[in-house]
Structures are given as C-alpha cells and as structure tokens.
C-alpha cells in the first residue's frame, strides 16, 4: 500500500483555513452589453475621390460632398481605398498615388497607368494582411497609322501601409508586368470563400479574359477563359479597347461595353474557379452613340449602361442615353431610362447608399459640377427614378464647384454588395434594429419579420423570441406602387459558457478555469484575454466570451482556497472527542496516503483513506504516549486543481493518554 518513500522528520504544523461555500445566488454576475453582434465592417468604398478634385463621403450612410482635396485630376476612372470602417487610406488616378494627407506616396509617382484609359487602375487588398495592397494599372494602346502600337499593358505595384509612418509607400513589384497588350478594362470581385479577391482583365486582339486571384500568399497565375467576342483590331479599331467592365455585386455575372463594336456583353462568372462563360450580347441601335459605362443594381438583377458620342471634341450632336436591362429576361429588350442633350454621360458606379451615380460632362474642357443619380436602381423602368427625388425632377448630386469629367472610382464590386435592408443585433435576447439602405422615394413601408411580427416604422426594432432563421419581407410604397424585397436573417443563440459555481483551490497551488474553447475573444475580470485563466487566489472570477457571430455571454465562478486540517495532538480515550488522528478536508477527488512513525523511525500506522485515521494503537496494542512523526501524500485527480508537484504534508502529533 505504501510508496516506500524516504522522508526527513521535521516539525511542520498545518493549520486549517475553512471558508464557507457560496451558493449560485451569491455569485457576482457581469452584465453583457445591450447589443453584441458583429458591426458592419465593409466600408472600404465609402469615400470617393475622382474627376477634377471631386469627392463624396458615404460613411454616414448618406452621400456628403467632399471638397477637401485639390491634388488629383482623374479624367477617367480613379481608385480609392479605405479601411474596413471607412477611414481613408490612399487614392490614385493610375499614374500617381496620394496618401490620406493628400501628399504624394513615396515610390508611387510614376506608375504605368494612363489617365486617358477607361479604367486605368484598381486597388486590391491582400487578404489576411491589413497593410499590404496591390495597385493594378492599365496603360493605353498608343496606335500609329501603320497599325503598330506601344503599350505597357497591365502592371501591378505593391503598397505597404506600415511604411512612411503609416502613410504608405510603394515597396516592391513597382510596375511589375502582368498582361500586354490589354483592353482598357479591369474589375475585381470576391472569391466564393469571401476572403480572396479575383482581378479580371481582357486581352487585346483576343477573346481571352485573364483572371488573377489575390490571396494571403500573394497572387496566383491567371485563369484564362476564351469566350465572347474578339476585342481588337488596328489603328481604325482602337476604340474597341474602350468601355467599362464590371462584375455584379454578388459576383455571379460580368458585363462589359465594347465601345467600338457597339456591343454590351454579359457573362457568367464562377467565383470559385475564376472561369468565365459567355451568356449573350446586345448591339445598340441608336446611331451616333456607343456603350461606355456599366453598372449593376444592388440586387444584381438589373444592368445599366450609358451610351455616348465618342467622336468629336466639341459638344455632342447626339444625346446620351441610359439603358436598363432586366437580367431576369436578358439583354434583348432594354428600357431607355433617360437621355441628355448636349451632355456626355460617362461612368456609372453603384455606391454603398444603394444608388447609382453617373458622371456627366460636355468634353474634357467644358465640364459639369454635378452627377446624375439613379435613386432606386432595383426598381423597373422609369420607377428607378432617374434624377427624381421625392417627385422633384432634376435632382442631381452637386459636387461643390468640382467636376467629374468622365470619372468615377473603380472599386471592388463586392464592396457595394449591400442588401436592401440591413440589421444590427442578431443575437438572441438582443433587440434587432433594421435599417433600410436606401431611403429615397419611399412614402410608407410595411415589415413582416417572419415570426408573426410586423411594423410600419421606417427603421424598426424587433425582438425575436427564439434563435433561428427568419424570412423578413419589406414592402415599400411610392406614388401608389409597391416594391417587395425579402431577406433571410439569422438570430444566433448565445455562446454556451459554464464555469460552475465553486472551484476549490489548494493553498499555494493554482487552478485553471476553462472557458468555452474556439471563441473569437475572451475578457476576464482580471483583464486576461485567453481561454484558460490560471488562478492562485480566492475570489469571484467572471469571463465574457464572444463567438464568431459576435454574440456574447458571461458566467462567473467563485474560487475557494482551502487547506487540509491536521491536528497536533489527539486523545484516544474513548470519550468521543479527538479519539483519532486523521486529516480533515472537504476535497475528495484525490489519491491519499498517510504514514505515521515513532521517534525512532518505526512505521506504526498507514492509510490510503482520508477518512480512516489512527486510533493510537500499534499491532493491536495501545501505543505509548509520545510525539510521533507523520507524512501525508495527496494527488489531485481532477483537472480543476493543479499543484506545483505532489502535495506532501509533514509534521508531528502528540498522543496523549
């Protein structure tokens, strides 16, 4: 039974520290915050700088004029990048890059983009790297009458925002070539994994699309798809390189304008593989004007295109047009939304407020200080309210004496994949706040929350009785017409967390308190932020855990420090008081060994049961009154108590007769 351990006799008195247990009703509980779900963090396209010193800020949810930059002129598309919460990082016209203080960025002042091409640049972050960005640039095809040309094609430059004191710097791969020759088109959209990003371009004199995947490790070799028309030709056909290309916000389709051929082409895009397949094309029927700008509606079900007069440097003799295609039926029968006399309607871009903005100018010299607006791009035909806000026609967006020319920012289209309505607080027991993304042209609304509840408030608050998936229906009414949208929301259960009521801790040892594993974050009462808290002192401890849905829950536990009480004397005289020498303690999930020796080292008693003590006898005879030496070994079996090695207790006890 014994371990046969060698011991050194010494005097050690171990006294008791018995502290009452606490009930769950006495526990200290930390109150979780009122709202705990993940905030929206897709504001990378919330600030626009474009054209001749023009700017718009969408960070509040509504468009606000910006007139604070006087450094950049972008005749065609620019590109701007914010962080995930809408703080400006840098912007470019494809030739130069400016930081958030409007200073030129080191290493990025002579890039290979040409400010005269349709889409000369686009900025793409490297997933998993908050500071690394790829800037793709597109050069012009400079044709000679003999059909020869020069071009640098598509290049990329890497920018590190940790450089230059956090202002950014072009650090490597500066003007590194990717594809030449190339059309004046480049767009980007997220991979199906919602992390990596596809960058899409079109080769010149070819039917080939080149698609690169930007991922955490860098950039992949291109996926090449031969599909659609050949975009190419010589000196007389160079206009075939012109025209926008856009991915749909949901990433499933791709559309482009082949200006020289008067074609608008639609493709399917595989977000998983990067492969592109031709769907159909439409040849414009209005003479004198050609397709140029492209934009999808927020729900990716409608496509808009601008048609403008390409030839001539003076005021256009042919009006510009805006077409709407209902993609549920294809490209065959577009609707003319509006036309503009004496104006060239150029770039179209969907914004995070759910509206499509359109650049307008006469030419490069005669400019206009406002944008046209499609206020409700998901609605059909004239009900999309082109330049009409609250029944007031001509409601354009002013630019504060700045001009767009042909320019609007070229953004990753996934950044404007904004639903008709959003919701905050998707955790059980939270109040769920609904927000309509685009409040333009709404007389009244009706909400069906999918659980029997309803509301007529514009941005209502609703509480769900149970976690689960709910189909929410929003009905908007304007001028007697109703428009219905649905969306599925998930109310997540709170993360499970159970620390227990009381944990016993042996004095001088430590105990590990285990919170639920694989949470997004932990916050303990000690300010520790890991999943396992090591404790060595008595007290209340609480933890708040946040799961990957950003739902939080809390629990607390009381840690009670204890020692085993071992008396220093006993009187085995049969009076019922102190008749045995034994170890007294509450914690029983242990292995236990006790050995008692005479002053000459003779073993007189041993036990492996904490409740079985010495009655003062030896070999069935009464042991003489004397001082005896004892040693106790305790091993704790449960994971709730950890000790710094085995607990070994030593001391003496006096047997009194």
Q: Is residue 284 part of a domain?
A: yes
Query: What torsion, rounded to 10 degrees, do the Cα atoms 80, 362, 346, 85 define?
Result: 20
pLDDT grade for 424, boundaries at 50, 70 and 90: confident
536 and 485 housed in the same domain? no
Domain-located, residue 275: yes
The tens digit of pLDDT for each residue in 65-81 reads 999 999 999 999 999 99
Which pairs count as long-range contacts for 110-113, CB under 8 Å and 24+ apart, including other chains?
Answer: 111/135, 111/137, 111/155, 111/157, 111/170, 111/174, 111/175, 112/137, 112/139, 112/152, 112/155, 112/175, 113/137, 113/138, 113/139, 113/155
The last residue of one of the domains, among 416, 435, 455, is 416
The Cα 275–Cα 228 span in angstroms is 13
Does 93 score more than 90 pLDDT?
Answer: yes
Distance CA 309, CA 515 (A): 66
Residue 451 has pLDDT above 60, yes or no: yes
Sign of CA pseudo-dihedral 74, 79, 83, 85: positive
Answer yes or no: do 73 and 214 share one domain.
yes
- Find the range with the poorest average confidence among 308-312, 358-362, 394-398: 308-312
* Same-domain status, 408 and 432: no
Q: In total, how many domains does the chain have?
A: 4
Decide: helix, strand or coil at residue 228: strand
What pLDDT score was predicted for residue 644?
A: 58
Please report which helix (H) or strand (E) contains residue 486, including its range.
Answer: strand 481-491
Instruction: Report whether 99 contacts 168 (CB < 8 A).
Output: yes
Neighbouring CB atoms inside 10 A of 301's CB total 17
Q: What's the mean pLDDT in 556-572?
A: 90
Whether 350 and 314 map to the same domain: the answer is: yes
Burial class of residue 383 in the structure, from the number of CB atoms within 10 Å of its CB (0-12 exposed, 13-18 middle, 19+ buried): middle
Same domain for 498 and 487: no
User: Domain holding 556: CATH number?
Assistant: 2.60.40.10
Cβ–Cβ under 8 Å, residues 84 and 43: yes
186 occurs within a structural domain: yes
Distance (Å, rounded) from C-alpha 354 to C-alpha 435? 12
HSE value, Cβ hemisphere, 13 Å, CA-based, for 420: 23
| Cα–Cα distances in angstroms (integers) from residue 92 to residues 167, 341, 630, in the given order | 14, 31, 82
- The reply to whether 298 falls in a domain is yes
Is residue 397 within 8 A of residue 357, CB to CB? The reply is yes
502 and 478 in one domain? Answer: no
**Structure-token pair, residue 553:** 């829950």
- Sheet of strand 421-424: strand arrangement: 421-424, 432-436, 461-462
Give the end of a domain, one of 562, 592, 620.
562
**Is it the case that residue 9 has pLDDT exceeding 90?**
no
- Look at residues 132, 42, 118 and name the one whose alpha carbon lies nearest to residue 78: 118
Distances from the Cα of 105 to the Cαs of 112, 167, 411, in angstroms? 15, 8, 20
User: pLDDT, tens digit, for every residue of 279-330?
Assistant: 999 999 899 999 999 999 999 999 999 999 998 888 999 999 999 999 999 9
**CATH number of the domain that residue 629 is part of:** 2.60.40
pLDDT at 39: 63
Would you state the pLDDT for residue 29?
Answer: 37
Domain C-terminal end among 353, 383, 416: 416
What integer is the mean pLDDT of 582-595? 88
Q: Pull the structure tokens for residue 287.
A: 């003479």
Whether residue 47 contacts residue 64, with contact meaning beta carbons closer than 8 Å, is answered with no
DSSP letters, 177-206, are EEESSEEEEEEEEE-TTSSSEEEEEEETTE
- Residue 31 has φ and ψ, to the nearest 5°, of -85, 125
For residue 542 the two structure tokens come to 């609480």
Check: CB of residue 256 under 8 Å from CB of residue 265.
Answer: yes
Tokens 């998993």, located at residue: 128
d(CA 533, CA 188): 44
Phi, psi of 646 (to 5 degrees): -65, 145
- DSSP-derived 3-state class of residue 435: strand
For residue 90, tell me if it sits in a domain. yes
Which pair of tokens denotes residue 143?
């044709």
User: Cβ of 89: how many Cβ atoms within 10 Å?
Assistant: 21
Claim to verify: residue 251 and residue 214 sit in the same structural domain: yes
Whether 334 and 371 share a structural domain: yes
- Same structural domain, 331 and 443: no
Structural domain contains residue 263:
yes
> Which alpha helices (H) appear in 383-529, and where do they start and end?
none
Say whether pLDDT at 617 is over 80.
yes
- pLDDT tens digits for 12-62? 223 223 333 333 333 333 333 334 566 666 899 999 999 999 999 999 999
525 and 433 share a domain? no
Q: Where does residue 586 rank: exposed (0-12), middle (13-18), buried (19+ CB within 10 A)?
A: exposed
Tens digits of residue pLDDT in 145-177: 999 999 999 999 999 999 999 999 999 999 999
Residue tagged 């997540």 (tokens)? 492
| Average pLDDT of the residues in 372-390 | 97
Catalogue the E-assigned strands of 507-618: 511-514, 521-524, 532-535, 539-546, 552-562, 569-570, 590-597, 603-607, 617-618
| Cα–Cα distance, 551 to 529 (Å, whole number) | 16
Contact residues for 271 (Cβ-Cβ < 8 A; gap 6+): 189, 190, 191, 192, 198, 251, 252
pLDDT digits (tens, 9 = 90+) for 473-517: 999 999 999 999 998 899 999 999 999 888 877 777 788 899 999
Backbone angles phi, psi at 16, to 5 degrees: -85, 145
CB 510 within 8 A of CB 535: yes
Q: Which residues of 10-46 are buried (b: 16+ CB within 10 A; e: fewer)?
A: eeeebeeeeeeeeeeeebeeeebeebbbeeeeebbbb
Vertex 424: Cα angle to 451 and 543 (nearest 5): 105
* 164 phi/psi in degrees, rounded to 5: 55, 45
- Tell me, yes or no, whether 38 lies in a domain: no
Regarding whether 86 and 231 lie in a shared domain, the answer is yes
* Structural domain span for residue 585: 569-655
Assigned domain for 251 exists: yes
Report pLDDT for 390. 95
Instruction: Please compute, for residue 172, the number of CA atoms within 13 A of its CA located in the half-sphere on the CB side.
Output: 3
Per-residue confidence (pLDDT) for residue 519, from 0 to 100: 94
298 shares a domain with 165: yes
Beta strands in 412-467 (DSSP E): 421-424, 432-436, 444-448, 454-455, 461-462
């Amino acid at each position: 039974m014994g371990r046969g351990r060698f011991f050194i006799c010494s005097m050690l008195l171990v006294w008791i520290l018995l502290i009452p247990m606490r009930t769950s009703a006495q526990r200290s509980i930390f109150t979780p915050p009122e709202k705990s779900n993940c905030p929206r963090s897709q504001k990378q396209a919330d600030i626009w700088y474009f054209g001749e010193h023009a700017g718009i800020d969408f960070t509040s949810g509504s468009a606000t004029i910006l007139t604070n930059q006087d450094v950049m002129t972008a005749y065609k598309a620019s590109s701007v990048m914010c962080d995930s919460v809408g703080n400006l990082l840098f912007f470019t016209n494809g030739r130069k890059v400016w930081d958030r203080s409007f200073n030129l960025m080191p290493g990025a002042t002579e890039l290979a983009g040409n400010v005269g091409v349709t889409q000369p640049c686009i900025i793409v972050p490297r997933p998993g790297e908050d500071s690394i960005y790829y800037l793709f640039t597109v050069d012009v095809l400079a044709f000679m009458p003999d059909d020869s040309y020069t071009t640098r094609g598509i290049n990329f430059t890497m920018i590190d925002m940790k450089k230059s004191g956090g202002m950014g710097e072009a650090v490597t791969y500066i003007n590194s070539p990717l594809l030449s020759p190339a059309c004046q088109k480049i767009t980007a959209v997220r991979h199906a994994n919602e992390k990596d990003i596809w960058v899409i371009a079109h080769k010149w004199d070819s039917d080939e699309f080149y698609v690169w995947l930007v991922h955490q490790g860098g950039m992949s070799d291109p996926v090449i798809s031969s599909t659609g028309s050949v975009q190419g030709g010589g000196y007389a056909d160079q206009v075939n390189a012109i025209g926008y290309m856009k991915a749909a916000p949901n990433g499933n389709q791709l559309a482009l304008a082949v200006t020289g051929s008067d074609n608008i082409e639609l493709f399917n895009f595989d977000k998983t593989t990067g492969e592109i397949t031709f769907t159909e094309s439409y040849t414009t029927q209005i003479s004198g004007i050609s397709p140029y700008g492209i934009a999808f509606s927020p729900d990716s079900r409608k496509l808009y295109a601008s048609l403008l007069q390409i030839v001539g440097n003076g005021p256009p003799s042919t009006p510009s047009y805006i077409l709407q295609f209902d993609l549920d039926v294809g490209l065959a029968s577009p609707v003319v939304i509006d036309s503009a006399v004496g104006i060239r309607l150029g770039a179209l871009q969907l914004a995070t407020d759910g509206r499509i903005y359109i650049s307008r100018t006469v030419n490069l010299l005669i400019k206009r200080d406002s944008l046209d607006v499609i206020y409700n791009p998901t609605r059909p035909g004239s009900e999309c309210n082109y330049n009409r806000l609250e029944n007031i026609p001509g409601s354009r967006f002013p630019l504060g004496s700045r001009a767009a020319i042909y320019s609007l920012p070229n953004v990753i289209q996934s950044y404007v994949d904004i639903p008709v309505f959003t919701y905050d607080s998707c955790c059980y027991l939270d109040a769920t706040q609904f927000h309509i993304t685009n409040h333009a042209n709404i007389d009244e609304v009706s909400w069906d929350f999918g659980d029997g509840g309803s509301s007529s408030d514009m941005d209502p608050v609703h509480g769900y009785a149970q976690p689960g998936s709910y189909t929410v229906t929003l009905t908007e009414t304007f001028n007697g017409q109703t428009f219905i949208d649905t969306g599925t929301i998930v109310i997540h259960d709170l993360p499970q967390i159970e620390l227990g009521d009381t944990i016993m801790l042996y004095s001088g040892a430590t105990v590990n308190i285990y919170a639920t594993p694989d949470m997004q974050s932990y916050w303990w009462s000690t300010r520790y932020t890991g999943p396992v808290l090591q404790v060595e002192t008595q007290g209340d401890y609480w933890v708040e855990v946040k799961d990957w849905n950003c739902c939080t829950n809390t629990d607390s536990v009381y840690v009670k420090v204890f020692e085993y009480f071992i008396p220093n004397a006993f009187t085995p005289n049969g009076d019922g008081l102190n008749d045995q020498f034994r170890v007294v303690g509450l914690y029983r999930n242990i292995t236990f060994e006790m050995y008692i020796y005479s002053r000459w080292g003779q073993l007189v008693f041993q036990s492996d049961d904490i409740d079985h003590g010495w009655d003062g006898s030896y070999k069935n005879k009464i042991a003489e009154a004397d001082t005896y030496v004892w040693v106790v070994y305790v091993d704790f079996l449960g994971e709730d108590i950890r000790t710094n090695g085995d607990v070994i207790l030593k001391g003496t006890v006096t047997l009194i007769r």
